[in-house]
Amino acid sequence: MSSLHRLEIKLLLALKDKEVLNFSELGNITNLPQASIAKGAFWLSSKGLAEIKEKGRNFVRLGPLGSTFLKNGFPERMLLKFIISHKGEAKLTQIQKLSGIEGGEIDAAVGWASRKKWVKITRISGEIVLKAEKEPELGPDEKLIQSISEGQVFRDCIPQNLEQGIQLLRYRPNAIILGREAEKDLVLTEEGVKTAQRIKEIEEVSQLTPDLIKSGKWRSVKLRKYDVTAPAAEVWPGKEQPYLQFLNDMKAKLVSLGFKEMEGSLVEASFFNCDALYMPQDHPAREIHDMYFVKNPKYADLSAYKSFLGKVKKAHENGGNTGSKGWRYDYSTQEAKRLILRSQGTASSARMLMNKNLEIPSKYFSIARCYRPDVVDKTHLVEFNQIEGIVVGESLTFRDLLGVLEKFAVEIAKADKVRFRPDYFPFTEPSVELAAYKEGLGWMEFGGAGMFRPEMTAPLGINVPVIAWGLGVDRLFMTKAKINDIRQLFTQDLEWLRRKELM
């Protein structure tokens, strides 16, 4: 028996005659905390001396509204007493002024009193009058509130005649709380029964104190032995949420490569999100099914960008000084002021190109939260992150852009293969779509990129090439982490969060 821990011995002795006890009963018998009982039970189970069996029990306890009912009484009961005290008849206006029932509870009190057939509602001379003859006994809902007043009660312990009370109170939000609690039994195995019959409790000392040493008692006491091979409960240290860690690491890597971070706004003017990107105001991507429009306020103040607004207007209408014919329509400055939730990270690039602190040559990035109405599935959410980047400088070519995109896919997403195919965006020419392949996940589209076209850069005062990309950061992480459902990125599944390795 020397291999048995003190906790195991205590539990075996408690089970010696019963053979089956739940953890609560074991706590009452041994005076051990539940954490110690769980630990000892786990050890006994690993040695084949006991089994842990779980069972669930439904419970009922008072909610905030139920506690108010317990303290003050049900409002319909208070209403009934008031009517009876006024000779069995009272006007609704009179009840509202004199009954003491709070204004917000009057309607509920009248409704429930009528539902329980305690009162009769009539109209006399245009006024609502409530009548009642006598005060009935406590109903099942009132009796239930009283019966569970001292705490949690299991459903199987509630008398059958009070079950109707549960059904009534379920219609009253926060009156009662229904739930299910797991209960654990510790059951001795055949070997455990034999072991329990042979052992006796031994008082052990777990810590060698100065008093034991000074008095010499350390020679006679039994020191507890520690079994370093005994199974222990798993401990989960604190760590960054995996996706957040990925975003922070990516930001650090870009900064180390000489990129500077751009800033933007979640609520954005259409001017930055669309117009400055040479997206015509009648473009399908600017419809209600592709953007979230802000109700109040509806419009932004663009007075600080008046000069840019005028040049962008000309580029849209006739090409301005860009060498283009433009989109050939009447540009609306009011539509440019329309506020939306940012639908693409490229809005941050437009802002940066107008920034007086823009450096040439330079490299900029932003991790932008974007919003689009969409059907939520394993690859789409209504809100998502984009990694937006631009490089501004002389002699930049499309080949430079492809090199940057491939670096992203291989170094950051750990993709096995990369492929490019032609694409179209109003603000880039040429344009390209990046897709990457990961063993076990297949091919996944990451986003678009291209060279900003003169119709976009010239109105903003930029006369050098600009390469740009906007990639789905969520999908980059999915590829790296081998996740095939985008909803997993924002999960509250503790088991997955605990076991997900640091990347």
**Region 465-491: what's the mean pLDDT?**
87
Q: DSSP label at 416?
A: S
Q: How many CA atoms lie within 13 A of 51 on its CB side?
A: 7
**Region 161-166: what's the mean pLDDT?**
85
| Residues paired with 204 in a beta bridge | 222
pLDDT-based confidence at residue 379 (cuts at 50, 70, 90): confident
How much is the pLDDT for 230?
65
How much is the pLDDT for 231?
65
Angle at the Cα of 181 from the Cα atoms of 177 and 185, rounded to 5 degrees: 160
pLDDT-based confidence at residue 503 (cuts at 50, 70, 90): low
Which range among 1-10, 191-200, 255-264, 447-456 shows the weakest confidence by mean pLDDT? 1-10
298 part of a folded domain: yes
How much is the pLDDT for 227?
67
How much is the pLDDT for 193?
87
- Which CATH number covers residue 312? 3.30.930.10
414 part of a folded domain: yes
**Region 124-150: what's the mean pLDDT?**
86
pLDDT-based confidence at residue 73 (cuts at 50, 70, 90): confident
346 part of a folded domain: yes
Report the candidate in 359, 427, 345, 366 with the shortest Cα–Cα distance to residue 393: 359
Instruction: Judge contact between 264 and 347, C-beta under 8 A.
Output: yes
365 part of a folded domain: yes
CA 481 to chain centre: 20
**Region 173-202: what's the mean pLDDT?**
82
pLDDT-based confidence at residue 1 (cuts at 50, 70, 90): very low
Residue bearing tokens 């297949």: 442
The answer, yes or no, to whether residue 149 has pLDDT greater than 50, is yes
413 part of a folded domain: yes
Report the candidate in 63, 107, 133 with the shortest Cα–Cα distance to residue 99: 107
Instruction: Judge contact between 111 and 70, C-beta under 8 A.
Output: no
How much is the pLDDT for 268?
96
Which range among 6-20, 368-382, 422-436 shows the weakest confidence by mean pLDDT? 6-20
Instruction: Judge contact between 44 and 109, C-beta under 8 A.
Output: no
Give 269-328 pLDDT, tens digit per residue.
Answer: 999 999 999 999 998 888 877 899 999 999 999 999 999 999 999 999 999 989 899 999
Domain coverage including residue 448: 245-498
Q: DSSP label at 63?
A: -
SS3 473: helix
Structure tokens at 263: 């800033």
How much is the pLDDT for 318?
95
472 part of a folded domain: yes
135 part of a folded domain: no
Instruction: Judge contact between 475 and 386, C-beta under 8 A.
Output: no
- Per the prediction, the chain carries an average pLDDT of 87
pLDDT-based confidence at residue 202 (cuts at 50, 70, 90): low
- Amino acid letter, 353: L
Distance CA 66, CA 158 (A): 17
434 part of a folded domain: yes
DSSP character string of 98-116: HS---HHHHHHHHHHHHHT
CA 346 to chain centre: 27
Give 273-288 pLDDT, tens digit per residue.
Answer: 999 999 999 988 888 7
pLDDT-based confidence at residue 262 (cuts at 50, 70, 90): very high
Distance CA 404, CA 258 (A): 13
As for how many domains the chain has, the answer is 1
